[in-house]
């Protein structure tokens, strides 16, 4: 499933010792230690802007705090790690983690919702007068609905799938990116990108040629498995065919010459069309 969410590799910085292994083994801990992990939030959430965050600390951790803010805001503070750890303790949220009876380690999960743009998630473990800070980053994508309407695929209509009520949405973080959310199945969005500068047709109306990269639809075709879609220009590696893929922003009208396919091969190609209400 394609998502425009970027989750970075975990970065952890020790403030208390030059020996990273000290305090990092639960049950044999002499200094506080923490980790931050991120994952999909699961059903009922929007994985484009919601994130599940797991905070883990060792037995030497007496208190655990977290703080989330835009990465640009954090960077503008120009704090070193010690100062920022103090800031998180003073301004963040104190966690109440579950303690593992076997080794004294501590864990707590939270769900961050509507986290838009590039954000830094910080956790500070406090114990024995020392602090340890850990970071992760999450980039959430915000979508603005431009229109409601009806989407029809000529190929899938032949396979028994009729017109679908949906929304046309624009991405606020990625210029030129649009989608029809959860079009054929929950969690599977039909996305397209502007492929040209603004053009003018014979009637003087402004439009753009667009492209559809290969993406799963969430549908399957018998024993052949998952159905994917892409525009014919992408399929054929010939940008000349993009002339048949048009988006008219003034009318929120979209038409795409699209190919549907499975791993074994082609299911057909014809027009996909969105007609706004």
Q: Give the model's pLDDT for residue 187.
A: 84
CA distance 87 to 15: 14
At 27 the pLDDT is 58
The whole-angstrom separation of Cα 18 and Cα 204 is 67
pLDDT of residue 43: 83
Angle at 236 between CA 230 and CA 238, to 5 degrees: 105
8 A C-beta contact, residue 177 and residue 210 = no
Domain residue ranges of the chain, discontinuous segments joined by +: 6-140, 143-276
- What pLDDT shows up at residue 237? 97
pLDDT at 21: 46
Residue 13's pLDDT is what? 39
pLDDT in tens, 204-258: 999 999 999 999 999 999 999 999 999 999 999 999 999 999 999 999 999 999 9
Backbone angles phi, psi at 89, to 5 degrees: -65, -40
Q: Which of 9, 126, 115, 5 is nearest to 68 (CA)?
A: 115
pLDDT at 167: 98
CA distance linking residue 100 with residue 60, whole number of Å: 13
Which CATH class, in words, describes the domain spanning 6-140?
mainly beta
Minimal CA–CA distance to 155: which of 209, 232, 223? 232
Residues in the chain with pLDDT < 70? 1-28
d(CA 26, CA 13): 18
């Amino acid at each position: 499933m394609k998502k425009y969410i970027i989750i970075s590799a975990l970065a952890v910085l020790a403030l208390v010792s030059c020996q990273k292994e000290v305090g990092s083994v639960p049950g044999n801990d002499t200094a506080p230690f923490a980790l931050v992990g991120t994952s999909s939030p699961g059903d009922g959430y929007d994985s484009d802007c919601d994130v599940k965050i797991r905070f883990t600390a060792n037995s030497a951790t007496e208190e655990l705090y977290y703080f989330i803010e835009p990465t640009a805001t954090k960077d503008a503070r120009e704090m070193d790690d010690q100062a920022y750890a103090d800031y998180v303790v003073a301004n963040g949220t104190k966690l109440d983690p579950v303690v593992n009876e076997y080794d004294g380690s501590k864990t707590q999960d939270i769900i961050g919702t509507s986290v838009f743009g590039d954000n830094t998630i910080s956790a500070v473990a406090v114990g024995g007068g020392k602090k340890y800070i850990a970071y992760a980053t999450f980039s959430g994508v915000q979508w603005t609905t431009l229109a409601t309407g009806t989407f029809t695929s000529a190929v899938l209509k032949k396979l028994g799938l009729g017109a679908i009520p949906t929304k046309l949405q624009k991405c606020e973080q990625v210029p030129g990116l649009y989608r029809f959310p959860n079009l054929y199945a929950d969690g599977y969005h039909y996305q397209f990108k502007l492929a040209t500068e603004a053009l003018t047709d014979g009637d003087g109306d402004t439009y753009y040629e667009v492209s559809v990269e290969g993406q799963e639809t969430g549908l399957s075709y018998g024993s052949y498995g998952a159905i994917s879609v892409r525009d014919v220009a992408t399929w054929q590696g010939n940008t000349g065919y993009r002339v048949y893929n048009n988006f008219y922003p003034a009318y929120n009208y979209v038409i795409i010459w699209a190919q549907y396919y499975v791993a074994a091969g082609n299911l057909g190609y014809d027009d996909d069309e969105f007609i706004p209400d």
